[in-house]
Chain A
């Protein structure tokens, strides 16, 4: 791929988004003859060169299986893999490395908790509580569990700004509620939920809380001890890391009492045909050869984010979102979906009389990558009475000038449909 394009400049002061964008090879290409403006970061972010190089280096120099071989390559790979566990521990401020479980992504993390913790603790007549703004991955695993157990899935309602109704939530914290599962940041609405308060309220009734942090970790500092969450699930690929790697954080006390999710190699201490003794944490939940290169790539992504500084990223993205929101609301016929007080990096909108699918195709021809559709959150679409939205979502490398390209694209869409 030899085609490159000059990236449009940033007007933001103090944060060099254009400079950082140089670290991301995929950003520098023409799409339909126009410089790529990548605004689909809530689906997946682009990867910096350091992440791509770390994965390549692993395969070129250290490729081997971990926790097994006595040879040098295996030793190096094992060390690199376990060092990333420590990096993740620090990244989310977990108390212990053993509380960091490597999984495929947020979806697998939630399924692990549903199948292991859920099947042990949720019984007939019990309830699992989710919110009205959940991604399908934080709905369906609980539905599968509830169907199997004869238990109920209950929903914390929200207002039309996309904010959860905490007084209604409190009423749902009944004795039959055995778990609360809630998004930290909504992938459609951008709402930053008050998860610390949600957790404190649940804990007053002795109910544990799982937080879906997939959309939060790229945008804000997460401290699982300060939140006091019982489980925290997130993916690497939305925070500049590779696909296919994610994290389940769980409190040691809970993880230790949970049965394994999958059986296989690495998760055992000893196996006979009569009895198997399971390995200790975190290995009990990491059956089989893991995504070693993915873990190593994730480690590089954490390093990259640490270098840029998550607080700087948060401020930059907040400025971009404020600018984009202010500008887009000047258009007639635009309705922003998700207008919560606290939002992060996501701007969903609909245009009067124009289907998001058409918007997406026309914007694509302007070089602008956005997501259109129901964003794996059909209940949110039903709540707002719309089939789909167009979603622009921001990352650390986006600029105000790119927001301007998006706004010109929207004007073109409206012109074509006028």
Chain B
């Protein structure tokens, strides 16, 4: 049997509890011009991410939905991190976050760029929970990549 050094509190850090209990930007966005859903059929987690994109800059972002503490706190902290970022900055941060939670070689400046998001560094030790941490991010990327004329702004 493999020795196991994983500590449960490496996964569930305090900031994760805080954001899962009191998520930021947890509401619909009436003037969003991008919107996408993220759904994990295996556990039923389901989020909608709303984006307001002006001149390739995320001027507002929010989310709604149901999920576990990891997925919900990740969605909350994602929205907090992306406001004001340009499309290419968002894409770069997504790649960094993905590296963080899947434990691929973290580049030296990643940690600085990721800021508070490094509380998700424990996720890579829990392979079945990686999908939870990345769910809202995938929804956000899908919203970001939408062509404006295809998007419902309801």
User: For the complex, what is the distance from the CA of A378 to the CA of B132, rounded to whole Å?
Assistant: 19
A357 and B43: CB pair below 8 A?
A: yes
Residues of A that sit less than 8 Å from B by CB: 1-3, 29-30, 32-33, 353-358, 361-362, 365, 372-374, 378, 381, 387-388, 416-417
B11 and A361: CB pair below 8 A?
A: yes
Task: List residues of B (7-24) whose CB comes within 8 Å of A's CBs.
Answer: 8, 11-12, 17, 21
Contact mask for chain B residues 81-98; partner A; CB cutoff 8 A; 1 contact, 0 none: 000000000000000000
B132 and A357: CB pair below 8 A?
A: yes
In the complex, the 4 A-B pairs of residues with the closest C-beta atoms, listed nearest first: A387-B44, A355-B68, A357-B68, A365-B8
Which residues of chain B are within 8 angstroms of A374 by Cβ–Cβ distance? 43-44
B70 and A358: CB pair below 8 A?
A: yes
Which residues of chain A are within 8 angstroms of B8 by Cβ–Cβ distance? 361-362, 365, 416
Query: Contact residue range for chain B?
Result: 20 to 34
Which residues of chain A are within 8 angstroms of B4 by Cβ–Cβ distance? 32-33
Which residue in A353, A354, A387 is a CB contact (below 8 Å) of B45?
A387
Given A30-B1, A32-B6, A357-B132, do A387 and B42 touch, yes or no (CB 8 Å)? no
Residues of B that sit less than 8 Å from A by CB: 1, 4, 6, 8, 11-12, 17, 21, 42-46, 66-70, 72, 126, 128-129, 132
Q: List 13 A-B contacts (CB under 8 A).
A: A32-B6, A353-B21, A355-B67, A355-B68, A355-B72, A356-B43, A357-B132, A361-B126, A361-B128, A381-B44, A387-B44, A388-B44, A416-B12
A355 and B1: CB pair below 8 A?
A: no
B43 and A417: CB pair below 8 A?
A: no
Closest-by-CB residue of A relative to B8 is A365
Given A358-B69, A362-B8, do A3 and B1 touch, yes or no (CB 8 Å)? yes
B43 and A373: CB pair below 8 A?
A: yes
Contacts A358-B70, A378-B44 aside, 14 further interface pairs with beta carbons under 8 A come to A2-B1, A32-B4, A32-B6, A356-B43, A357-B67, A357-B68, A357-B132, A361-B128, A362-B12, A373-B44, A374-B43, A387-B44, A387-B66, A388-B44
Which residues of chain A are within 8 angstroms of B6 by Cβ–Cβ distance? 32, 365
B45 and A357: CB pair below 8 A?
A: yes
Which residue in A29, A356, A358, A361 is a CB contact (below 8 Å) of B1?
A29
Closest-by-CB residue of A relative to B7 is A365
Closest-by-CB residue of B relative to A381 is B44
Minimum Cβ distance to chain B for residue A254 (Å): 35
Minimum Cβ distance to chain B for residue A27 (Å): 13
Closest-by-CB residue of B relative to A362 is B8
Minimum Cβ distance to chain B for residue A410 (Å): 14
